[in-house]
Chain A
Amino acid sequence: MRNLGMLGLFLVLPFALAFGAAAVDQGVTALQATVMSATVFAGAAQFAILELWTDPLPIITISLTTLAVNARHLLLGAALAKWLNLVPLPRRLVTLMVMSDANFADTHKNLKDGGTDVGILLGGGIVLWTFWLIGTAAGAYAGNLIGDLSRFGIDVLIGAFFVTITAADTLVPKNRLPIICAIVIAVASVNILPQGWGIIVAAIVGGAVGAFRNA
Chain B
Amino acid sequence: MPDQLDAYWTIAVMTIVTAFTRIVGPVVMSRITSSPRVEGFLESMATSVVAGIVATYVAQNGYREALAIVVAAAVMLITRKAGMAMLAAVITAAGWRLLA
Contacts and interface: CB of A to CB of B under 8 A. Distances in A.
B54 to A, nearest CB: 5
Interface size class of B (residues with CB under 8 A): 35 or more
Contact of A62 (B13, B24, B30): B13
Contact of B37 (A32, A82, A211): A211
A214 B18 contact: no
A168 interface: yes
B67 to A, nearest CB: 9
A73 to B, nearest CB: 4
Interface stretch (A127-135, A138-146, A180-188): A180-188
Contacts of B73: 163-164, 166-167
Nearest to B24: A74
Contacts of A35: 8, 11
A76 B25 contact: yes
Contacts of A79: 25, 42-43, 45-46, 49
B56 interface: yes
A36 interface: yes
A208 B17 contact: no
A55 interface: yes
Interface size class of A (residues with CB under 8 A): 35 or more
Contacts of A74: 21, 24-25, 28
B33 interface: no
B39 A206 contact: no
B18 A81 contact: no
B76 A164 contact: yes
Contacts of A158: 57
A202 B49 CA distance: 7
A82 B19 CA distance: 19
A3 B86 contact: yes
A155 to B, nearest CB: 7
Given A72-B49, A78-B42, A179-B47, A157 B91 contact: no
B22 to A, nearest CB: 4
Interface string B73-100: 1001100101101100111111111100
A19 to B, nearest CB: 14
Contacts of A104: 49
B7 A29 contact: yes
Given A6-B86, A178-B47, A206-B48, A32 B26 contact: no
Contacts of B24: 73-74, 77
Interface in B5-19: 6-15, 17-19
5 contacts: A77-B22, A81-B26, A92-B26, A161-B86, A186-B59
Given A67-B17, A162-B57, A167-B77, 13 more contacts: A3-B82, A63-B13, A78-B26, A153-B89, A153-B93, A154-B90, A159-B54, A160-B69, A160-B89, A163-B72, A167-B73, A186-B56, A206-B47
